[in-house]
Structure 1
Amino acid sequence: MAMAGRLPGQLLLRRENLGKASFLELFFDLAFIFALTRLSRALLDDPSLNGGFQALLMLAALWWVWFVTAWSADWFDPRAPLVVALLLWVMFGGLLMAAAVPTVFDGHAMVFAVAYVAIHLGRAAILIPGLRGHPLQLRSLRVAIWFAISGVLWVVGAAVAPAREVLWALALVMEYVLAWLRWPFPWLGRSTWPELRVNGTHLSERYQQIFIIALGELILIAGITYSGSGLDRDSTVAFALAFVTAVALARLYLVPAGGRLGGRIEAEGPPGSRLTLLAGYLHLVMIAGVLGTSVAMEMTIDDPGEDNTGQLAVGVIGPSLFLTARILLAAMVDGSRPWARLVGVPAIIVGGLATVGLPQLVASAVVAGVLLLIVLFDAMPRLWRFIRQARESHPADQRLAG
């Protein structure tokens, strides 16, 4: 890998065990679990279009904290004191943001915004001195300058409620676009792709871990809701559907290209940083889809017989977002376009529309059924290939059977 070596401040680029996440990185992910539970609560309280947009803004901000930190941590030895301080700083800031989520638009916007800005500027304050004399110091400086500029939008948005959503959305769009443009700044230029290169195996594993955490939030919230539901028959069926849905989403994420992302990033070389970034954007969409599905499942378990437009909306939009992003990721990784998934997105939408006016339990059953069918049709080519290979490897058995 490029730029290996020991840096000032004992920061070591490229760990010995490149494919494994450190204990501290996994510990850092705990903040994201808390954030997802708070986001699902906020969306549950207001499943309207405006509530969904607000939840998406907060999720995009929290995801950007996780993604930029995961990208930064990929370069350094997690045992180095500065990196330990960095991850703990970001984790604490993330917990503050998550704690403010349910009331961000009711009085605690400044806590959320200041914590977000402090995370990014604090990361720069830790890394820039530690990178003294190394070319990567300039990369961190560019990123810090742009986060300071976007930070103004975050703080002003927190102070001016009528313009909050607009200013925060503008800040997020700016940050996501600047990352794709490699953080250009006058007189400082822009980062090169080799400067942004990551270890594909490690970051791919981090994506899988954070997606599993999102699914874990779905199961956790479903279990908590079911535990308080009285454990009646309809709630039990709804809980079973939530479990089946989580299993289907996990299967659809991991197969066929879930484990190939790292290899593709490595094969691309420095340009693989583009793929890493696109994968980060698509994982945001997939996690948003899982979050919406989680809220729909919670509504169903809580009151299976109710006709709820909000439940139907998030219950259809959530899986559709996940499938769409997953299809795009598979197309980028290995060029595949699984027909079952392509048909599955409109099938979920049509199936959802067909359940308008019916109990929530019916809507959840339709979505779970479509997901299971996609998994089944997805697996059929592999199943037939396995059967054909088994027959070819046992010709004597075939003659006896004849």
Structure 2
Amino acid sequence: MASENSRGTMFRALVPNQHSRVTYAELLFDLVFVFAVTQVSHYLLARFTLFGAVQTTLLFLAVWWVWVYTAWVTNWLNPELTPVRILLFLLMLGGLVLSTSIPHAFETRGLWFAVAYAAMQVGRAAFFVAVAPPSNVGVHRNGIRILSWLSAAGVFWILGGLADGERRLALWMLALAIEYVSPVVRFWVPVYGASSIQDWYVEGGHMAERCAGFIIIALGESIVVTGATFAELNWTTTTVLAFVSAFASSIVMWWIYFHKGAEAGSELISKSSDPGRLARSAYTYLHMPIVAGIILSAVADDVVLAHPDGISDLKTAICAIGGPLLFLVGTILFKHNIRGWLQLSHIVGILALVALSFLARELSPLMLSAVTTAILIAVAVWESLSLQSGSKTQPSATSA
């Protein structure tokens, strides 16, 4: 067992208003999730039914949760140290097993998925408890609280892996609910009670950069899917236009998230006196619809590229409109969390997409893709011009 001093050195030296860089070990770990995100989007493509959508949602939430928990832990621990690096490498191995199990997670590889997921969650928490110095009572007790909740959820993950069909889905939904509720109740456990928000101090700039990195992962997956699909097609006028629309959509999503928004979030959380609360709301929960929207848009790009002509079916309409809609809902909530006001540009974009849904079945997939991309471009231009003109100082819904 590590000595008291060596345990303490496992943790980052958190200096207020100082940004700790994301390490190369963390970036290497993130690469596994490029594959995981690709697997999730392909799962939805192969099973585009209501039941398949529910399964895909569960798989996405699991992938996001195991990644974001690792981001929290590496915000506290120092990945430059060999034991923490080894932890990340072992989590990478678990992540690869998890990712390769996704296509058949509700069929023959359910137990593999469950074991990989539970091992990553419980193993990481156990490591944290092992290296947390007992003299730092708040940190040590937080580790025990997290380990307790994740261990309880792990039981249901394994039971679900042993079950099949709807029983597996129900047990995994229960496991996921336990994990998602636990931060809201501040990991309350008997004897220790709930943690205080002061116990969750994080290095804000590092957390913001980690979540921005996951957005890059999701956008990169979207571009990879677009390129791989386009490469296999005959390059006609319609497929080229569909390819351009898909690429433009990815770029404008990047612009909407990263132009001012990501920078403002990083600056705010870096200087916040309560970064733990902001990290939990803005970065742990509100990034989920942003990433989900990008993944659903990638599915839409694949569908439109394969069949750009004709009339849009329900699958195409849901993906082409639902992806940008989820993305804008996530970004407006994220930016509201960091700026304190809702942006009119995003509200109008959301309403335009909702209105488009009533006309979607009358448009070809290519036209539908082009219109949704045009709406996103309008939102990006409107926001950029508004912020540039200085209207961001007005704390109202009409500010941008």
Q: How many Å apart are 1:190 and its aligned residue? A: 2.3
* CA distances 1:290-316 after superposition (whole Å, capped 9, x unpaired): 000000011111121143321211211
Provide the residue aligned with 2:398 in structure 1: none
Cα separation, 1, equivalents of 2:144 and 2:389 = 54
Provide the residue aligned with 1:23 in structure 2: 24
Provide the residue aligned with 2:108 in structure 1: 107
1:188 aligns with 2:192: yes
For 1:356, what is the secondary structure of its paired residue? helix
Relative to structure 1, the CA distance from residue 357 to residue 381 in structure 2 (aligned partners, 3 Å threshold; closer, same or farther) is: closer
Structure 2 letter corresponding to 1:239: F
Q: How many Å apart are 1:15 and its aligned residue? A: 6.4
Q: Are the counterparts in 2 of residues 153 and 168 from structure 1 also a CA contact under 8 Å?
A: yes
Cα separation, 2, equivalents of 1:384 and 1:202 = 30
1:267 aligns with 2:242: no
Cα separation, 2, equivalents of 1:37 and 1:6 = 42
1:59 aligns with 2:60: yes
Q: How many Å apart are 1:273 and its aligned residue? A: 1.0
Q: Are the counterparts in 2 of residues 6 and 13 from structure 1 also a CA contact under 8 Å?
A: no
Cα separation, 2, equivalents of 1:125 and 1:381 = 48
Cα separation, 2, equivalents of 1:55 and 1:100 = 13
Provide the residue aligned with 1:11 in structure 2: 10
Q: How many Å apart are 1:128 and its aligned residue? A: 2.1
Provide the residue aligned with 2:289 in structure 1: 285
Alignment map for 1:40-189 (pairs within 5 Å): 40-133=41-134, 134-135=136-137, 136-161=139-164, 162-189=166-193
TM value normalised by structure 1: 0.90
For 1:77, what is the secondary structure of its paired residue? coil
Cα separation, 2, equivalents of 1:371 and 1:129 = 47
Q: Are the counterparts in 1 of residues 292 and 326 from structure 2 also a CA contact under 8 Å?
A: yes
Structure 1 letter corresponding to 2:344: W
Q: How many Å apart are 1:196 and its aligned residue? A: 1.4
Cα separation, 1, equivalents of 2:105 and 2:92 = 19
Q: How many Å apart are 1:165 and its aligned residue? A: 1.9
Cα separation, 1, equivalents of 2:160 and 2:331 = 33
Q: Are the counterparts in 2 of residues 9 and 131 from structure 1 also a CA contact under 8 Å?
A: yes
* CA distances 1:294-349 after superposition (whole Å, capped 9, x unpaired): 00011111121143321211211111111011111111101132112101112112
* CA distances 1:31-80 after superposition (whole Å, capped 9, x unpaired): 11000111111011122222222111111111111111110111122121
Cα separation, 2, equivalents of 1:154 and 1:76 = 26
Q: How many Å apart are 1:258 and its aligned residue? A: 1.6
Q: How many Å apart are 1:137 and its aligned residue? A: 2.3
Provide the residue aligned with 1:393 in structure 2: none
Cα separation, 2, equivalents of 1:379 and 1:328 = 18
For structure 1, the 5+ residue unaligned runs are 387-402
Cα separation, 2, equivalents of 1:185 and 1:369 = 50
Cα separation, 2, equivalents of 1:76 and 1:383 = 38
Cα separation, 2, equivalents of 1:355 and 1:198 = 44
Provide the residue aligned with 2:385 in structure 1: 380
Q: How many Å apart are 1:28 and its aligned residue? A: 0.5
For 2:262, what is the secondary structure of its paired residue? coil
Cα RMSD for the two superposed structures: 1.9
* CA distances 1:73-106 after superposition (whole Å, capped 9, x unpaired): 1112212122112211211111111111111112
Q: How many Å apart are 1:7 and its aligned residue? A: 4.5
Q: How many Å apart are 1:267 and its aligned residue? A: 3.4
How many residues are paired up?
A: 381
Aligned counterpart in structure 1 of residue 212 of structure 2, from 189, 208, 215? 208
Q: Are the counterparts in 1 of residues 19 and 204 from structure 2 also a CA contact under 8 Å?
A: no
Q: Are the counterparts in 2 of residues 352 and 366 from structure 1 also a CA contact under 8 Å?
A: no
Structure 2 letter corresponding to 1:250: W
1:237 aligns with 2:238: no
Q: What is the aligned-residue identity percentage?
A: 30
1:336 aligns with 2:341: yes
Provide the residue aligned with 1:221 in structure 2: 225
Q: How many Å apart are 1:6 and its aligned residue? A: 5.5
For 1:106, what is the secondary structure of its paired residue? coil
